[in-house]
Amino acid sequence: MGGRASRAPGGATPPVPSPGGDTLEDEEKRVTHAAGAVPPAIELIGINKSFGPVHANRNVNLRVEKGVIHGIVGENGAGKSTLMSILYGFYEADSGEIRINGERVRIRSSREAIDCGIGMVFQHFMLVQTLSVLENVMLGAEGGALLARGASAIRRRLAELGAEYGLDVDPDAIAGELSVGLQQRVEILKALVRGAEILVLDEPTAVLTPAEADQLFQMLRVLKGQNKTIIFITHKLREIMSLTDRVSVMRRGEMVATFDTGLTSPPELADAMVGRKVILRIDKGPAHPGAVALEARDIVVRDDRGVVRVDRISFALREGEILGVAGVAGNGQSELLEALAGIRPLSGGEIMIHGRPLSAAERNPHDERLIGVGHVPEDRHRMGLVMPFEACESAMLGFQYEPTYGRGLFYDRKAIVKDADRKMDAFDVRPRDPLLKTANFSGGNQQKLVLAREIERNPRILLVGQPTRGVDIGAIEFIHKRIVAQRDAGKAVLLVSVELDEILALSDRIIVLCGGRLTGERRPDETDARDLGLLMAGVSERAA
């Protein structure tokens, strides 16, 4: 474990301390590859896969050259994950052919995929939380019926890989206690220990902080330098542009285009993804802020474990403005939003609604809705919707007591369906079927359903959390327009988002949270991502 390479803190040069011979050999490989003699690492030909009536993959062709980082982008539900699941043996394609290094293979299980040299890093990590890193890496590659011998071999291999790729992880740490970034690293190590030559990463940055994402990118570039092939699935175009060599675009189950990353641009990719022009900037007029609608005075909020997550924060939200709350995920925004919506108790301070303090008895979602506070929760799966419910049932959650939906013990089924149909029409929820199960809608349409429910009730104050998380580009545009329309109608809108672009594009005023404290307030025209980034990191006010 002696001569381990340390990662450069700023991350200018990736460490490649492998013996010179190896590197030369790799150079040679890449040269021959450039000459076109090497067959592609992966070739998918005419892949079809249907789930009942849904045609998830339609005649998909994909060619990934050896030793490149190949991006796959597409909206949610475009079929990216299905395609990768087929490659990893989770599903078998209805028809089509898979070739690995030019050889036709059949992959019917994860075992066979691993044997083909494919390693997969899932979006939701496949780690056993209670086991150590070493045990997680060993699982399925134990090297014998008894653990002792295999364990020392894998321990050595981990040390080697740690040195070679800058992938240091303590092998005896318990997986569940590691940070998300390190857990992802364990996933990558798992693949490498199994001898993966092809690494598939499914939305790997969704759970990472920007710094962790940078580290990941650096790691991937080193792996590419070692002639590994990497497939990188995402819907963030910025990542595609900065990391990949080639990029393929999926749309509604089809592979619609493949570009050299250097020869394309985000707008072109976005067009290919949605099949029409998308405005990434939002056209909105100036705000006309009115009276203070909601005011927080020195509020303190604790999380479930009793830790203070919001520490004496004060701000005022006016009618006719969008106040953005920026911050790295986990810095108190979620708790703040929940406290304002009445879901989480206040440990201190006061919330004023239209100049009147909210009593403890009123601080619950039901009473706040009656007062006119709408809440679009951050996590629609956990709080916003009940997945097995029909859309029309989900569309009345929180308002089910209202006379519109029936009287006494019984609901008026027709009225419920009609009301849901109207909301779905207003918010372009597709498919417009109030009887379809909520779980069967795509992420974007589920989100539109929640927004429709809250906005159609015409609240004077709208609290919105992560409105476009896991939502495809077409729906993002729609949702953004709706939020701005609320502002223009004189509503007070509080927007909590971890997407800086979203905060910058929508907000009329921005406050930044870091470690539960307010670290700054900005107007969008006098700030930029870099400035906000510093505030989010807790670096104090600008020198000026």
Residues that bind another protein (CB under 8 A): 81-82, 85, 88, 90-91, 109-115, 120, 122, 126-131, 135-136, 138-142, 144-148, 150, 190
Q: How far is the CB of 453 from another protein (least distance, A)?
A: 27
Phi, psi of 155 (to 5 degrees): -60, -45
Considering beta carbons, is residue 146 or 360 the nearer one to another protein?
A: 146
User: CA-CA distance, 133 to 155, in Å (whole number)?
Assistant: 10
Considering beta carbons, is residue 138 or 464 the nearer one to another protein?
A: 138
Considering beta carbons, is residue 131 or 241 the nearer one to another protein?
A: 131
Q: How far is the CB of 90 from another protein (least distance, A)?
A: 5
**Strand ranges for 178-307 from DSSP E:** 198-202, 229-234, 246-251, 254-260, 292-302
Q: How far is the CB of 175 from another protein (least distance, A)?
A: 9
Phi, psi of 319 (to 5 degrees): -65, 145
Q: Cβ distance 96 to 104 under 8 Å?
A: no
Considering beta carbons, is residue 111 or 238 the nearer one to another protein?
A: 111
Q: How far is the CB of 146 from another protein (least distance, A)?
A: 6
Q: How far is the CB of 141 from another protein (least distance, A)?
A: 8
Considering beta carbons, is residue 58 or 517 the nearer one to another protein?
A: 58
Q: Cβ distance 185 to 179 under 8 Å?
A: no
Considering beta carbons, is residue 128 or 291 the nearer one to another protein?
A: 128
User: CA-CA distance, 320 to 484, in Å (whole number)?
Assistant: 9
Phi, psi of 201 (to 5 degrees): -120, 120
Q: Cβ distance 245 to 84 under 8 Å?
A: no
Q: How far is the CB of 516 from another protein (least distance, A)?
A: 27
Q: Cβ distance 487 to 493 under 8 Å?
A: yes
Q: How far is the CB of 73 from another protein (least distance, A)?
A: 19
User: CA-CA distance, 118 to 49, in Å (whole number)?
Assistant: 20
User: CA-CA distance, 360 to 351, in Å (whole number)?
Assistant: 10
Considering beta carbons, is residue 250 or 395 the nearer one to another protein?
A: 250
Residue 102 CA: distances (Å) to CA of 38, 42, 110, 218, 225:
9, 8, 20, 29, 21
Considering beta carbons, is residue 148 or 263 the nearer one to another protein?
A: 148
Considering beta carbons, is residue 1 or 439 the nearer one to another protein?
A: 439
User: CA-CA distance, 167 to 133, in Å (whole number)?
Assistant: 13
User: CA-CA distance, 218 to 465, in Å (whole number)?
Assistant: 31
User: CA-CA distance, 527 to 326, in Å (whole number)?
Assistant: 13
Q: How far is the CB of 79 from another protein (least distance, A)?
A: 12
Q: How far is the CB of 191 from another protein (least distance, A)?
A: 10
For tokens 């009345």, what's the residue?
396
Q: Cβ distance 392 to 435 under 8 Å?
A: yes
For tokens 């980082």, what's the residue?
69
The DSSP line for 348-394 is: EEEEEETTEEPPGGG-SHHHHHHHTEEEE-S-IIIII--TTSBHHHH
Q: How far is the CB of 82 from another protein (least distance, A)?
A: 7
β-partners of residue 295 are: 316, 352
Considering beta carbons, is residue 115 or 245 the nearer one to another protein?
A: 115
Q: How far is the CB of 280 from another protein (least distance, A)?
A: 30
Considering beta carbons, is residue 109 or 404 the nearer one to another protein?
A: 109
If one counts every other C-beta atom within 10 angstroms of the C-beta of residue 143, the result is: 13
The DSSP line for 269-289 is: HHHHHHSS---SS--------
Q: How far is the CB of 115 from another protein (least distance, A)?
A: 8
Residues 6 or more apart whose CB falls under 8 angstroms from that of 221 comprise 14, 69, 243
For tokens 């030793």, what's the residue?
67
The burial of 510, by beta-carbon neighbours within 10 Å (0-12 exposed, 13-18 middle, 19 or more buried), is given as buried
Considering beta carbons, is residue 146 or 543 the nearer one to another protein?
A: 146
Q: How far is the CB of 129 from another protein (least distance, A)?
A: 6
Omega before 431 within 30 of 0, i.e. cis = yes
Considering beta carbons, is residue 93 or 351 the nearer one to another protein?
A: 93
